[in-house]
Amino acid sequence: MTELLSTLPTLIIIIILIGSLYILSKAADRLIDEAVALSLQFGLSKMVVGATILSVGTTLPEVASSLAASLRGNSLFGLGNAVGSIITNASLILGVGALIGLIPVKKETRRTFLVFAGSMLGFMGLSLISSGSLQEGLLPRWSGVLLLLLVPFYIWQTVKKNPKEIEEELEQNQIEEKAPSHSLSKRVVILIVSSLGVTIGAALLVASAEITAVRIGIPDSIIASTLVAFGTSVPEISTTLVAVRYGHGEMAIGNILGANMMNILLVMGAVASLTPGGVLIPASYITVQYPAILVLMGLIGFPLFFKQTSLINRRHGLALVILYGVYLLTSFLV
């Protein structure tokens, strides 16, 4: 596919890149809608569906594109997509949500944030220790396998700790985009077509992004951590805006932190486990992405633990959006 696309003009490649993001996002949305409806049709509880299908569903575009890149031997693209999506979710998407409405903080949110912060610090620390240098990092292959093994444990913990909120989140998603009533055979056909859409969209996305990066002289890992990360975060954007609009701001931050956990465990785990020798993390990540994540954790952690109101308000939202702008600018300049 890369060979075929490489013969096309740059403008056409960029159009294909944007189109592939759209195809991947819409196909993933439809795949999850039908999977949820089919699961409920077979009698699975909303709690189980919410903690499994919905948890993985919002990160499906990242998973598909990162796997496609890793199978092509481009692990840096997958890494950039995962890290960039984490930053995009926690800064731009959460920030926009806070600008639209107040986001209350619950005890469970604090717990999830601590797990997320601990996981990120562990990831960054491990990458630096494994490389033995502060100039670049290394995510060992065994760590990827470990992260994947933690996915079912994380989902089980989610079900165990917060079943009511999971059911509410599932119902909230169904309010906004309820899957049409179809026969079983039609649902299966839609699932197959949607799966093909995800596969084709991911393949086109990776190939067009790689070609675009080469032609404009920017590393494809930067393209992945900015443009591609934004495009694959569309499910989190829609879910956050819907939750805030319906007055469920606590679900918005819960969804974002949950999606980021899946990016760490599932996406990074898949990328590292598929890469012989592990994933080499370039110096630009140590100087740009890592500091951005540390600042993000501080901006989110402050209203969670040090303010009596326990709200992420518009001021915090504006700070998060500004940080995202600085991150984008720095990514392309460094």
pLDDT in tens, 246-301: 676 777 787 788 888 888 999 999 999 999 888 989 888 899 999 999 999 998 88
Closest to 128 in 3D by CA, of 286, 2, 17: 286
303 touches 311 (CB < 8 A) = yes
Indicate the domain borders of the chain.
2-333
Whole-number Å distance between alpha carbons of 81 and 76: 8
283 and 73 Cβ atoms separated by less than 8 Å: no
DSSP three-state, residue 178 = coil
Give pLDDT, residue 175. Answer: 43
Mean of the per-residue pLDDT values of the chain: 80
Structure tokens at 4: 């075929």
CA-CA-CA-CA dihedral for 40, 61, 225, 170, to nearest 10: -20
Q: How far apart are CA 72 and CA 256, in angstroms?
A: 29
* CB-based contact 66:78 (threshold 8 Å): yes
Determine the topology of domain 2-333 in CATH: A middle domain of Talin 1 (1.20.1420)
Q: Spell out the per-residue pLDDT of the chain, length 334, in tens.
A: 666 777 888 888 888 888 887 887 787 777 767 766 766 666 655 555 555 566 666 677 888 888 888 888 888 888 888 999 899 999 998 898 888 887 877 777 788 888 889 999 999 999 999 878 777 889 999 999 999 999 888 877 776 655 555 555 555 555 444 445 667 778 778 778 877 887 787 778 778 888 888 888 888 778 888 888 887 777 677 767 777 776 767 777 877 888 888 889 999 999 999 998 889 898 888 999 999 999 999 988 888 777 666 678 888 889 999 999 999 899 887 6
> Which DSSP letter does residue 282 get?
P
